[in-house]
Structure 1
Amino acid sequence: MTTPYPRVELGDLPEIDVFSEEFRAAPWEVTSRIHSPNGLARSSRGIEGLTYQSAHTVLGDRRPRIGFDEMYQATGFDESSPVYQAAVTSINNLEGDVHKVLRETLGRYFTRDFVQTLRPVVRSIAEEILDGFVPGEPVDIATRLVGKIPSRLFASLVGAPLGDAEFLEKTSDALLTVFYMDNANHEVVEKAYAGLAAYVEDLIRVRQSSPGDDVVSYLLDVERSGRITRHDVIVNVTALLRASTDTTAGQMGLVIAELAERPDVWERCHSEPGIIPAAVMEAVRWRTGAWSILRVVREDMNILGTPVPAGTDFFGLAVAAHRDPEAYPDPHTFRLDRRRPKPTLNWGMGVHYCLGKPIAQVEMEEVVRLLTERWTGVHLAKPLVTDGEPVNSRPLTALIGHTPR
C-alpha cells in the first residue's frame, strides 16, 4: 500500500475514546477536532480510521481479514463450537476460490434485474403492515414496522411461510449481538444459532421433496451439481438471514426517522418520487447504522504511513467518514443534489462488499415511497432512542407522528 503520507509511528497516533458519551452524541464533531496527518487514531479496541480515505483504504484492501473469528472468540466461542465453525466458513468470512464460488452462486439473487422484481413484493408487505395501523395515531416504527419488512421478505426469498417472519426477526436480532464482541451475549447467540440451524435443516427437507422458485431450492440444485456442499447450503442460508434482516431494519428505521425530521424533504419525496433514491442514500450518509466496520490486520503492513503489526484490529469509522469534507463537500448539509457521491462505507468495501446492499436500498426506497404517499405532517413525537454505538446504531424507539393524506 504505497502512500504519500509521512511516517507516523503507531504510538504517536492521537487517541480517541469511541465509547465516551461525547462520541456517542456527535462522533463527527469529536473526530473533526483530532489532528492526524493520515486520518488514523488509537483507541482502547485498536486503530480507528477517522476519514473516508483511511477507512476506505483498509476496507478495500484484500490483506486484512473480516474478523469473524475474533468476534466469535470474544463472544466465548472456540474453534470446536458449531456456532464458530458456521461463522468462519460462511460467505461473510471465507476468501479465495471458495468465497468466489459462493458469491457467484448467490449473486443471481442480487443482480439489478432480480432486485427490481422485489419492489412490488416489498410494497405489498409494507401495505399489509400499514393497513393495520390506526390512521393518524403515532407509530413506533422501530417496533411495529421496520423489523417486520426484511424478515418477511427473507421468508419469501427462501420459500418459508410468512408466519415464520417473527421467529426470523428475533433470531436475527439475537445473532447480531456477536458484533459487540461481549462474552455476556454467548448464551443468546448460541441458542439463536441452534434454533436457526434446526429451522434451516427442516426447510431444506421440505424443499428437497417440494422444490420451488426460492433461494434454498436453488442452492440444493447447485449442491447436486457438486459446486457446493450441504454444509455450504446451511451456513449460507443462516448467513443471509444474519446479514439481511436486523441490519436492514436498523438502517431503515434510522432513514425514516431522519426524513421525519425534515418535513420539506418528506414532502418533496411525495411530490417528486424520483428523488427518493437520493433522499434515502443521503439519509444513510447522515445517520448511518454501521458506525464502525472491523478488519483484522493479518500481516505487518503500512497503513498510510503508519507501520501496523499483524493481529491489530482496525475499525473503519463510517459514521465519521460520512461527514468527511474531502469525500462529501458541505458534509454537514443534507443535500439531494450531490452529483455521483462517493459510496457510503456502511456496506463495506472490496471483496467482502455486502451483496445485499441493492435489496436493502430497494426495501428502504419502497417503504419511504409508501409512507410519503400515505402520511403528511410527519415528525418525531418523542426523541429518537438508539442503541449499539459505536458498533451498529439502531433505533429502539422511533415514534412518528403524522396526519393521513
Structure 2
Amino acid sequence: MNTITGCPFHAAGAVDAASTAAESFKPYYRPELHAALEQQRRHEPVFWSEEIGYWVLTRYEDVYAVLHDGQRFSARNTSLPVTPMHPDALAILKEGGYAPTGAHSSLDGDVHRRIRGVTGQVLNLRDFIKLEPHIRSLVAEAMDRIDGKDDVDLLRDVNYELPARVVFKLLGIPEADIPHVKKWAGMRSVIDFSPSTYEQQIVGAKNMVAYWQYCSAMVHDRLKNPRDDFTSRILAIRNGDDSVMSLGEATNHTFGVAFAGHETTTNQLTNTFRTLLQNPDQWQALCADPSLAANTVEEGMRYAGAVIGWRRTALEDVEFRGVKIPAGARIMLSFASANRDEDVFENPHRFDIRRKNARKQLTFGNGVHFCLGAPLARLEMKIVFEEFAKRFPKMKLAQPDEARHMHTFVFRAPSALPVVLQ
C-alpha cells in the first residue's frame, strides 16, 4: 500500500522519488504539460498536487471509472471557484439576485436525473440537426468576411463569435445582444476555473449579475410570450410544476447553456486548427479529403482538448493503484493525460486525423454527465473544418506562433490564432 505525505488527508508514510517529482508538477496548462503528465502516468499515475489541492488521476482506466461512478464520487465541485470569492464580490452577487441552483455538470443523483430529463428533451441530436443549414450559412458568411485578407486572427475573426451565434439562436437571443452576452458569460471562466484577483472577482461578479438578470428576464418573458427556443420549451415541459423544474432552475439552466454552449467550442476549434497547421501533412490530408472532418474533430479533442481536467469529490475512502484517497478529498481527472494514455491510444503523441479510435477521447466527459451539447459541438466543428479545407487549402500558421493560454488547470484556452490564408 502506497501512502504519500504532504496532503492534509495523508496518513504518515515515506516519500519516494516519484512523490518528489509530483511536488514539482505544474498542473496549469502550458505546452510542456503533456510531457510532465507522461512522466506522472508512467511513474506515479495517482498523486497529490499541492499547488491546486487535488489528487490527480492520470490513467484512462481510472478517469473513466470515476466518470461512471456516481455512488462514490460527487460532481458538486466541478464549477467551484478556484479562488474563494471575496465577501465584496459575494455581496454584489447577492444584491443582484444571483441565485444559481447548480450547473448540469455539478448536480448529483435524483436532481441531476430530473433536470437532465427536462433539458435532454430539447438538447438532442434530432433538434441539433435542424440547425445545420443555419450553421453552414454562418460558416460561409465568416469565410466570405475574411476571404481576400492576408493575415487573419482565426480566433478573433471566426472562432470567437461563430459558436455563440449558433447556441444563441437555439436560445432565441437576438443578434444585437450577442456581444454583451458573450462578454458576460466569459467572466465565468475567470471566476470558476482560474485563480482570480480581487479586481477580477469584482468585475466578474458584476458581469455574472448582468448575465443572470438577462436570463431571468428571458424566462419571465417566455412565460408570457413563448417561442420556439430552449427556454420556452423547457418552460412548456415544466407546465407550471415546480417538481419538474422551478423557475429558478429554468433561469439557472438558460444561464448555463448560454455559457457552456460556446466557450468550449470556441477553444476547441482554435486548438484543433492550430494543431492541424502545426502538422501540415494532416491539414493537406483533410484538404484532399474533407470527409475526414468528423474524425478530425475527435482527434483534435483527443490531442488538444479544450477541457484538460475535470473535478470530483470522493464521498468515501477510495483506492487507486495502491494509493488511498480519503472521503472528502478533491480529485482532478486529467483528461489531457487520459487522452494520451499509451494503453488506449497507439503512438499517443502523434496527431493523426485517421486514428481509428479517436472517438474514445474523454474531452466531452463520459457516463451520466456526458456533455449534452456534444452532438451540436461535433456538428459545428465538422462543418467548419469541411468548409475551410475546401476554401483555404493554402492556409498556414503565421510565424512566430507565440500562443498564450488562460492560466487554468481546467481548460486549454488560447488567446489568439494568427494565420496566413494564401
* Partner deviation per Cα, 1:155-183 (whole Å, 9 max, x = no partner): 20111212211112212211111112535
Counterpart residue number, 1:308: 325
Following the alignment from structure 1 to structure 2, what is the Cα–Cα distance between the partners of residues 77 and 68? Answer: 18
The residue number in structure 2 matching 1:364 is 381
Q: Distance in 2 between matches of 1:134 and 1:70?
A: 39
- Aligned to 1:323, what secondary structure does the other structure show? coil
Aligned to 1:333: 350
SS at match of 2:115: helix
- For the residues of structure 2 that align with 1:217 and 1:293, how far apart are their CA atoms? 31
Q: Is the 8 A contact 1:38 1:305 kept in 2?
A: no
Q: Does 1:135 align with 2:148?
A: yes
Residue 69 of structure 1 contacts residue 88 of structure 1 at CA under 8 Å; is this kept in 2?
Answer: no
Q: Tell me whether 1:401 sits opposite 2:420 in the alignment.
A: yes
Amino acid at match of 1:398: L
* d(CA) in 1 for partners of 2:258, 2:359: 28
Aligned-partner Cα distance in 2 for 1:268–1:34: 33
Counterparts of 1:179-190 in structure 2 under 5 Å?
179-182=193-196, 184=198, 185-190=200-205
Give me the CA root mean square deviation.
2.6
Whichever residue aligns with residue 61 of structure 2, its letter is Q
- Spell out the pairing of 1:3-402 with structure 2 (5 A cutoff): 7-11=1-5, 12=15, 14=19, 15-19=22-26, 24-34=30-40, 39-44=45-50, 45=52, 46-62=54-70, 63-68=72-77, 71-72=80-81, 74-76=83-85, 82=94, 86-177=99-190, 178-182=192-196, 184=198, 185-226=200-241, 227-341=244-358, 343-382=360-399, 383-388=401-406, 389-402=408-421
Question: In the aligned structure 1, how far is the partner of 2:374 from the partner of 2:86?
Answer: 29
Structure 2, unmatched stretches of 5+, are 6-14
C-alpha distance in 2 between matches for 1:181 and 1:86: 22
What is the alpha-carbon distance in structure 2 between the residues aligned to residue 159 and residue 20 of structure 1?
38
- In the alignment, the residues of structure 1 paired with residue 290 and residue 283 of structure 2 have an alpha-carbon distance, to the nearest angstrom, of 10
Which piece of structure 1 moves more, 126-135 or 326-335? 126-135
Q: CA offsets, 1:29-51, max 9 Å, x none?
A: 22323476672122112211122
TM-score between the two structures when normalised by the length of structure 1: 0.89
**Contact 1:282-1:335 within 8 A present in 2 as well:** yes
How has the CA–CA distance of structure 1 residues 233 and 317 changed in structure 2, closer, same or farther, with 3 Å as cutoff?
same
TM-score scaled by structure 2?
0.86
* CA deviation string 1:337-360 (max 9, x = no partner): 333445222222222221111111
Deviation at 1:301? 1.9
Q: Distance in 2 between matches of 1:349 and 1:125?
A: 30
- Percent of counterpart pairs with the same letter? 21
Deviations 1:271-322 (A, max 9, x none): 3222111112112211111121111223222234322112222111111222
| Alignment CA distance shift 1:186-1:68 (3 Å) | farther
- Specify whether residues 20 and 156 from structure 1 end up closer, same or farther in structure 2 by C-alpha distance, changes over 3 A only: closer
Using the alignment, how far apart are the partners of 1:38 and 1:57 within structure 2?
18
Q: Which digits, 9 at most, give the CA deviation of each residue in 1:242-299, with x for residues without a partner?
A: 2112121111111111112233322332332221111121122111111211112232
Pick closer, same or farther for the CA change 1:311–1:181 going to 2, 3 Å. Answer: farther
* CA gap 1:289/1:35 in 2 versus in 1, 3 angstroms: closer
Single out whichever of 28-37 and 326-335 deviates more from structure 2.
28-37
Corresponding letter in the other structure for 1:56: Y
Q: 1:120 to 1:87 in 2, by over 3 A?
A: same
Task: Tell me how far apart the structure 1 counterparts of residues 380 and 328 of structure 2 sit (CA, whole Å).
Answer: 37
Q: Secondary structure at the match of 1:386?
A: coil
Question: Which position in structure 2 is the counterpart of 1:3?
Answer: none
Question: Is the alpha carbon distance of 1:339 and 1:20 closer, same or farther for their aligned partners in structure 2, counting shifts above 3 Å?
Answer: closer
How far does the alpha carbon of each residue in 1:55-98 deviate from its partner, in whole angstroms, 9 at most, with x for none? 22223321222243872383316899659974453323222222
Call closer, same or farther: CA 1:364–1:75 in 2, change over 3 Å.
Answer: farther
Quote the Cα distance in structure 2 between the aligned partners of 1:399 and 1:316.
31
Q: Post-superposition shift, 1:328?
A: 0.3
Going from structure 1 to structure 2, the CA distance change for 1:40 and 1:339 (only over 3 Å counts) comes to: same
Number of matched residues? 396
Identify if the C-alpha distance between structure 1 residues 124 and 217 changes in structure 2 by more than 3 Å, giving closer, same or farther: same
Q: Is the 8 A contact 1:122 1:153 kept in 2?
A: yes
- Counterpart code for 2:59: T
- Give 3-state SS (helix, strand or coil) of 1:279's partner: helix
Contact 1:384 1:399 in 2 (8 A): no
- State the SS of the aligned residue for 1:8: coil
Query: Which stretch shows the higher mean deviation, 244-253 or 109-118?
Result: 109-118
Query: CA shift at 1:145, angstroms?
Result: 1.2
CA 1:88–1:187 in structure 2 vs 1: closer, same or farther (change >3 Å)?
A: same
Residues 35 and 151 (structure 1), Cα distance of their counterparts in 2 relative to 1, 3 Å cut: closer
Cα pair 2:188 2:208 within 8 Å, conserved: yes
Runs of at least 5 residues in structure 1 that lack an aligned partner in the other structure: 1-6
- Using the TM superposition, name which of 388-397 and 229-238 deviates more: 388-397
CA drift of 1:384 comes to 4.5
